[in-house]
Amino acid sequence: MYGSSTTTKTRFKTGEESPWHAIYHFDGYLDGTHSPAPTAEEREIELGVDENFPPIRSANKGCWWKLHRRL
């Protein structure tokens, strides 16, 4: 869907596809709540191109992911 290297979007939600092989950081829950906090292991993820952004499983909630670094 995003595959193009010209994509300028840097914030993604659970279920969307990653446009790059990259590291992403947790950037809040979709419902606007702040708790429960994600575990340390859930705060940073590495995804390949076209992999889906996951929910925070420990909280069973969808969330936002922010691009940290393309690999």
| Mean pLDDT value across residues 9-16 | 97
3-state secondary structure the chain: CCCCCCCCCCEEECCCECCCCEEEEEEEECCCCCCCCCCHHHCEEEECCCCECCCECCCCECEEEEEEEEC
Domain ranges (residues) in the chain = 11-70
pTM of the model: 0.87
pLDDT of residue 8: 84
pLDDT of residue 7: 67
Model confidence pLDDT, tens digit, residues 13-59:
999 999 999 999 999 999 999 999 999 999 999 999 999 999 999 99
